[in-house]
């Protein structure tokens, strides 16, 4: 057994059992008389399951052309074929063994005229740092948290269930949301193994919402939920060729999410289209009095899915968020012509970048990580109460937790003391000011702009467990640090001879609560281009490490 397979043995056992239970649920009768099988065969003649977008699925469910049970069965079979076998994407850590039964119950409700909401019967994978009270562990990808069984759903999960969503399972992630080591490889976790990019499984998924992005791209689910502190929604969105939205800080409750930083953490939607991502975001959003950043919003975000949404928009092209990949820049320049053709006016701008406030942001993340993690640990039944406890436990389980890279960031965070508070507060003020009021907001005001655009990040790099990630640059930091919204949409592919084509994304970002403006622009761009093409997974994997 190779190293990654050994490390993910616990996850494979859990996943295999839950997958077997789920698939068996539709095989309780002989095949020739099994209603679920017969119904599935009938639907396959009229419904194209593969890579169907949310609106197509929703319409088919409403018209009776598709059942939720059939949809869940399709995804379970996709996971069985390519999660640990086939392309070996390792995008899913665990599955809800009751998902198919829940789908049947929701199908019955629909037949009786009871539709809970726009997500009725729609499956959602959650990044495995989000609490559920349904028997699924919330692991953050770490063996240390393998027995972390929350007593309550996270608020966003409660909201999803109210809308009729089915929690399909938990998605793999970069362990501890990629905040453990300075030399990490994105997508690796002690529980889940190494998540891989479905467009080329030898390449990275990027960011910490690795499995969430790969699962949506690979047609393992209709929707996934990820989280971001800086880049972990939009980067895997871009390199996996899907749509991802980092909302304004506080639009979605952070309750029940294993944290890094209360100043920047947020959950967000991942989907194959803008309409899907916006619908999922609307379903998760709500005011939560227990979340200090939460706010009330009566905005109906789906009202802004406007095909003419670029018309009349003034857009700043952030030129100093470019220049780290020539092929990426060439693809981006072509998209500017699309924006203009759809009625937008473009203005070149430059703004403060990560190099000017990155050190300050890093100080903020380290300081808040220690305190925010202790606050989460206090809500669990785990034998850990501090960062020191986690560091010691990682050392005890080094063969499973530290085989490829260390825990330098844990140690740096743990070294933060009360004496660092003034330095932290100065860093917080500086990073927020340069990213927000003197960054995004200043650009919008000075040039009378509605929003800003830039390439999201470069094409996916080759996985390198020796050196870690080969990360060249990104447009994620300004909106992430400021707490402002950011949408990434597929903008085409980097194509070279005899190489798999690699997806890249275009970023739309603006000031706080500017989701309506960004949705209009992103949806209009998507409808004008229709760039997304699904990955081809009919391969025999020989890349496992």
- Whether residue 219 contacts residue 253, with contact meaning beta carbons closer than 8 Å, is answered with no
Cβ neighbours for 196, distance < 8 A, ≥ 6 positions apart: 87, 88, 89, 90, 91, 187, 202, 203, 204, 205, 214, 463, 543
Residue 538 lies in a domain: no
How many domains does the structure of the chain reveal? 1
Cβ neighbours for 319, distance < 8 A, ≥ 6 positions apart: 348, 349, 350
CA–CA separation, 120 vs 113, rounded Å? 12
In the block, tokens 């004496």 appear at: 419
Reduced DSSP (H G I as helix, E B as strand, rest coil) percent helix, strand, coil of the chain, to 5: 40, 15, 45
Q: Where are the alpha helices (DSSP H) in 342-476?
A: 354-377, 387-396, 398-401, 408-414, 421-435, 441-446
Residue 542 lies in a domain: no
Cβ neighbours for 409, distance < 8 A, ≥ 6 positions apart: 179, 180, 181, 182, 366, 369
Give pLDDT, residue 19: 64
CA–CA separation, 43 vs 50, rounded Å? 13
Q: Are strands 166-171 and 123-127 parallel, antiparallel or unpaired?
A: parallel
Residue 128 lies in a domain: yes
CA–CA separation, 121 vs 158, rounded Å? 15
Residue 375 lies in a domain: yes
- Catalytic residue flag (residue 127): yes
CATH of the domain at 234: 3.90.1300.10
Could you give the angle at which helices 354-377 and 387-396 cross, rounded to 10 degrees?
90
- Whether residue 167 contacts residue 99, with contact meaning beta carbons closer than 8 Å, is answered with yes
Angle at the Cα of 362 from the Cα atoms of 509 and 439, rounded to 5 degrees = 35
CA–CA separation, 338 vs 521, rounded Å? 11
Give pLDDT, residue 18: 60
Query: Using H for helix, E for strand and C for coil, what is the string for 177-230?
Result: HHCCCCCCCCCEECCCEECCECCECCECCCCCCHHHHHHHHCCCCCEEEEEECC
In terms of residues, how long is the chain? Answer: 545
Cβ neighbours for 37, distance < 8 A, ≥ 6 positions apart: 26, 27, 31
CA–CA separation, 438 vs 431, rounded Å? 10
**Which tokens is 502 given?**
């690699």
Burial of 282 (0-12, 13-18, 19+ CB in 10 A): buried
CA–CA separation, 485 vs 285, rounded Å? 13
- 3-state class (DSSP) for residue 74: helix
Residue 433 lies in a domain: yes
Given the residues 127, 313, 370, 400, the one annotated as active site: 127
Q: What is the pLDDT along the chain (545 residues), one digit of tens a residue?
A: 333 333 334 445 456 556 655 555 444 322 222 334 334 444 444 789 989 999 999 999 999 999 999 999 999 999 999 999 999 999 999 999 999 999 999 999 999 999 999 999 999 999 999 999 999 999 999 999 999 999 999 999 999 999 999 999 999 999 999 999 999 999 999 999 999 999 999 999 999 999 999 999 999 999 999 999 999 999 999 999 999 999 999 999 999 999 999 999 999 999 999 999 999 999 999 999 999 999 999 999 999 999 999 999 999 999 999 999 999 999 999 999 999 999 999 999 999 989 999 999 999 999 999 999 999 999 999 999 999 999 999 999 999 999 999 999 999 999 999 999 999 999 999 999 999 999 999 999 999 999 999 999 999 999 999 999 999 999 999 999 999 999 999 999 999 999 999 999 999 999 999 999 999 999 999 999 999 999 998 554 444 44
Given the residues 184, 208, 474, 524, the one annotated as active site: 208
Residue 154 lies in a domain: yes
In the block, tokens 């999201």 appear at: 456
Cβ neighbours for 130, distance < 8 A, ≥ 6 positions apart: 138, 154, 156, 157, 170, 225, 227, 256, 257, 258, 267
Residue 111 lies in a domain: yes
Residue 501 lies in a domain: yes
- Catalytic residue flag (residue 208): yes
Q: Where are the alpha helices (DSSP H) in 474-542?
A: 477-482, 515-529
Domain hosting residue 258, numbered range = 3-41+49-529
In terms of Cα–Cα distance, which of 147, 139, 128 is closest to 382? 147
Given the residues 232, 261, 460, 507, the one annotated as active site: 232
């Amino acid at each position: 057994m190779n190293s990654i397979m050994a490390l993910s043995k616990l996850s494979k056992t859990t996943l295999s059992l839950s997958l077997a239970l789920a698939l068996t649920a539709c095989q309780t009768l002989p095949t020739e008389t099994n209603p679920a099988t017969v119904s599935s065969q009938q639907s396959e003649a009229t419904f194209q399951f593969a890579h169907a977008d949310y609106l197509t699925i929703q319409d088919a469910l409403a018209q009776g052309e598709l059942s939720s049970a059939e949809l869940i069965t399709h995804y379970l079979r996709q996971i069985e074929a390519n999660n640990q076998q086939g392309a070996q994407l390792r995008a899913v850590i665990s599955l809800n063994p009751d998902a198919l039964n829940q789908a049947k119950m929701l199908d019955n409700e629909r037949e009786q005229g009871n539709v809970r909401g726009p997500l009725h019967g729609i499956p959602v994978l959650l990044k495995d740092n989000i609490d559920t009270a349904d028997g699924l562990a919330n692991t953050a990808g770490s063996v240390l948290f393998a027995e972390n069984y929350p007593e309550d759903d996270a608020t966003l999960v409660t909201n999803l269930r109210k809308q009729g969503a089915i929690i399909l399972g938990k998605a793999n992630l970069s362990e501890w949301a990629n905040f453990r080591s300075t030399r990490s490889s994105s997508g690796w976790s002690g529980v889940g193994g190494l998540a891989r990019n479905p467009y080329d499984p030898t390449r990275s998924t990027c960011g910490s919402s690795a499995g969430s992005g790969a699962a949506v791209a690979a047609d393992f689910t209709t929707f996934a939920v990820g989280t971001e502190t800086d880049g972990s929604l939009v980067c895997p969105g871009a390199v996996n060729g899907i749509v991802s939205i980092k909302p304004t800080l506080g639009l979605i409750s952070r309750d029940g999410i294993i944290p890094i930083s209360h100043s920047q953490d947020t959950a967000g939607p991942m989907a194959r289209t803008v309409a899907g991502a916006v619908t999922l975001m609307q379903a998760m959003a709500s005011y939560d009095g227990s979340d200090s950043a939460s706010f009330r919003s009566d905005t109906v975000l789906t009202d802004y899915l406007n095909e003419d949404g670029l018309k009349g928009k003034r857009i700043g092209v952030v030129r100093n968020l470019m220049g780290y990949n020539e092929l990426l820049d060439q693809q981006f320049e072509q998209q500017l012509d699309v924006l203009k053709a759809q009625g937008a006016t473009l203005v070149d701008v430059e703004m403060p970048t990560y190099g000017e406030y990155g050190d300050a942001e890093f100080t903020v993340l380290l300081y808040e990580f220690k305190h925010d993690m202790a606050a989460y640990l206090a809500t669990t039944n785990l034998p850990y109460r501090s960062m020191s406890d986690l560091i010691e436990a990682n050392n005890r389980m080094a063969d499973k937790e530290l085989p490829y890279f260390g825990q330098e960031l844990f140690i740096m965070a743990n070294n933060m003391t009360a004496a660092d508070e003034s330095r932290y507060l100065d860093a917080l003020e500086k990073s927020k000011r340069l990213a927000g009021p003197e960054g995004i907001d200043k650009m919008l005001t000075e040039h009378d702009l509605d929003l800003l655009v830039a390439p999201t990040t470069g094409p996916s790099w080759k996985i390198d467990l020796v050196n870690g990630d080969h990360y060249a640059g990104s447009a994620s930091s300004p909106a992430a640090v400021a707490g402002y919204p950011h949408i990434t949409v597929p903008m085409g592919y980097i194509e070279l001879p005899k190489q798999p084509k690699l997806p890249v994304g275009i970023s739309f970002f603006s000031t706080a609560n500017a989701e309506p403006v960004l949705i209009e622009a992103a949806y209009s761009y998507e409808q004008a281009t229709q760039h997304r093409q699904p990955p081809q997974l009919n391969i025999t994997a020989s890349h496992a490490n």
